[in-house]
Amino acid sequence: MTKADIVDVISSSTGLTKVETEAVVNGFMETVIDAMKRGETIELRGFGSFKVVKRAQRVARNPKTNEEVIVPEQYVPVLKMSKDFKEEVNEAMMEEEEN
Question: Which helix (H) or strand (E) element contains residue 71?
Answer: strand 68-71
Residue closest to 76 by CA, chosen among 95, 42, 50, 48: 50
| Paired residues of 81 in beta bridges | 48
Q: State the pTM of this model.
A: 0.81
d(CA 37, CA 51): 10
**Domains present along the chain, CATH in parentheses:** 1-40 (no CATH), 41-98 (4.10.520.10)
pLDDT at 99 over 80: no
Q: Compute the 3-state secondary structure of the chain and give helix, strand, coil in percent, each to the nearest 5.
A: 50, 25, 25
Query: pLDDT for 16-70, tens place per residue?
Result: 999 999 999 999 999 999 999 999 999 999 999 999 999 999 999 999 999 999 9
Is residue 83 exposed (0-12), middle (13-18) or buried (19+ Cβ within 10 Å)?
exposed
d(CA 47, CA 68): 39
The arithmetic mean of pLDDT across residues 67-94, rounded, is 96
